[in-house]
Each structure stands twice: as C-alpha cells, then as structure tokens.
Amino acid sequence: MVDVLVVGGSGLLGRALVRRAARSGARVAATYHRHAPSRDGRPLDIRRRDDVVATLRRIRPAAVVNAAFDQGDWATTADGAAHVAIAAVDVGARLVHVSSDAVFSGRSGRYTERDRPCPGTPYGAAKAAAETAVAAIDPDAAVARTSLIIGGGESAHETFAHALVAGTASGVLFTDDVRCPVHVDDLADALLELAGSAHPGTYHVAGPEAVSRHELGTLITGRALPAGLRVDSGLPGARDVRLDCAWTRARLGTRPRGVREFLSR
Ligand SMILES: NC(=O)c1ccc[n+]([C@@H]2O[C@H](COP(=O)([O-])OP(=O)(O)OC[C@H]3O[C@@H](n4cnc5c(N)ncnc54)[C@H](OP(=O)(O)O)[C@@H]3O)[C@@H](O)[C@H]2O)c1
C-alpha cells in the first residue's frame, strides 16, 4: 500500500516531496516524465488521461500530490491536472493539487485564499483553469498555491542569481517584482500535512516575508547584483503578488520560514 504518490516526482518540488515523505516513514511512490530519477519512479505523461487512470489504479495510493506542470504547455498544466483529479476520484485517493501565485495579476498586491484568480499570463491562466477543473472534479481536493520555490541551490532562481555573479548569464533582477519565497522542504512538509488531512479548499503555502527578485538574488548570493524594473522591461507577468497565508496558517501545523531566515548566512 502506498501512502502518497507524487506526480511530477522528478521536479524540484517533487524530489523534496519524495525525500520528506520517505523521511517521515511514509510509503511513497513517484512519477516522472522526461527525467528518470535515480531512485525508482514510474514514467507518466499526465496529458494522457487513460494512462493516468491506469497508473493510479495500479498504485492505489491513499493520497496524491500533483507537482507536475509545464509552464509553456496548457495540455500538461491545465488538462493534465484535470486528468490527475479524475484518476484520484476514481481510486478514492485524497488529492493535493499544487498551484501558483501566477493565478493573480498583481494589480492588488496582496491576495488571500478567498480571492478569485485573475491571471495576467497564459501560464497563470493554465494554473487558474487547473484550479477550476480540480475543484469541479474533486470537491474534496486541496488546492495549494505557492510562490517562488527556493532550496538546496537547485531552483531556477538560485541558479540564475549565481550565474549572474559568475558572469555566465547576463541580465538584471527586478526591484519591482515582489513575491513571498518559500523553502522547498517547508513547502513539501505543508503539502504532505495537507495530504494526510481530509480538509478541502484553497490554501496559501508561502513564506511570511515579501521580497523583490533583486533582494532575493542578493540574499542567495551575498553579492551586489544588477537591478532593473519589470515595468520598463516590457515582459509579461505580475509585479507585486503577496500571498496572504493567514487562513492557512490557522489550519496547518507546518510553519514555512521567511526567506531571510532560511537564506541567512
Ligand atoms: N518553481 C517555482 O518557483 C514555483 C512557483 C510557484 C508555483 N510553482 C508550482 O509548483 C509546482 C512544482 O514546480 P517545480 O518548480 O517543482 O517544477 P519542475 O521542477 O519544473 O518540475 C516539474 C515536474 O513536472 C513533470 N512534468 C512535466 N511535464 C509533464 C507531463 N506532461 N506529464 C507528467 N509530468 C510532467 C516533470 O517531469 P520531468 O522533469 O521528468 O520531465 C517534473 O517532474 C508546479 O505546480 C508549479 O506551478 C512553482
């Protein structure tokens, strides 16, 4: 019997979910798409609904955490999330779906769990569509929105900041692009706590401190980094998105650390 199946177990968050679940003594299984993990995992493309249903019927997990997505692919991020929800309902598994602060446009800055998605990018729209599909298919599911995921030097945010310092990447980090970064282990623990509970609804699991991407890069590298403004860049995407986590904090024992705490030297 598998306690928790991590869909997208080869990704940054998925690997942490597998690690933290195993550490807590849970029986854990994981799927991957293009990158087979060193530990055992099962290949699965969540765009293929029948394959998703067949995989869950074989594994019969008590809970599923869906950490799979592909930023440029609606079929994975939105349709794939619906397929995982259909399969979870089919086998009676508890579903925790991982969503993003990208469902918000950033026009009002601070967003609670009760705020409705108002995406400003195709990626944000796919994540918002996924939330809607998951809630419609599996009203008992938990949807957990998170912010920039940091940890172990493995995140894209850490890699880019270090590459700027090394001179192997060029560009700037925005001072007007504000988020609430979370450590990948804290996020994984909160998601596993949700997986072990039965409460439905939308949760916000992010760090308690808001910082700009430029401040974040400085905290990661301890070095002065080139700064710029997203508003001047012409790039799409929200500027200021702070996830208000008060409602979630009142319901979860896991306490995500602030970015200054987990990146302090
Ligand atoms: N990273 C952040 O800063 C951030 C911020 C907010 C929200 N999130 C959310 O957090 C979740 C995890 O993000 P992450 O950074 O851990 O992502 P990631 O490292 O890019 O991992 C994505 C995972 O999805 C899998 N995948 C991609 N296409 C798939 C498909 N068609 N079928 C099945 N699996 C597929 C990948 O498998 P392979 O690698 O094996 O191909 C990988 O395991 C996502 O829901 C994302 O929206 C992330």
178 strand-pairing partners: 212, 240
Residue 155 lies in a domain: no
* pLDDT tens digit sequence for 37-89: 877 799 999 999 999 999 999 999 999 999 999 999 999 999 999 999 999 99
Mean pLDDT of the chain: 96
Any residues with Cβ below 6 Å from ligand 1, and which?
8, 10-14, 32-35, 44-47, 67-70, 76, 80, 98, 100, 127, 146-149
User: What is the number of domains present in the chain?
Assistant: 1
What is the Cα–Cα distance from 135 to 131, expressed in whole angstroms? 6
Q: Residue 181 CA: which ligand 1 atom is closest?
A: 3
CA distances from 45 to 83, 122, 169 (A): 10, 21, 32
233-242 pLDDT, tens digit each? 999 889 999 9
Q: Measured in angstroms, how far is the CA atom of residue 18 from the centroid of ligand 1? A: 14
Structure tokens at 194: 């949700």
Q: Is the pLDDT of residue 265 over 70?
A: no
Given a contact cutoff of 8 angstroms between Cβ atoms, the answer to whether 48 and 86 are in contact is: no
Asked if residue 226 belongs to a domain, the reply is no
Check the CA dihedral 126-131-136-142 and report its sign. Answer: positive
Q: What domain range includes position 41?
A: 4-149+183-207+244-256
Domain assignment of residue 62, yes or no: yes
Point out the ligand 1 atom lying closest to the alpha carbon of residue 71.
47
Residue 250 within any structural domain of the chain: yes
User: Can you tell me the distance from the alpha carbon of 218 to that of 236, in angstroms, rounded to the nearest whole number?
Assistant: 23
235: in domain: no
What spacing in Å lies between the alpha carbon of 263 and ligand 1's midpoint?
A: 23
Task: Flag whether 114 is in a domain.
Answer: yes
CATH number at residue 21: 3.40.50.720
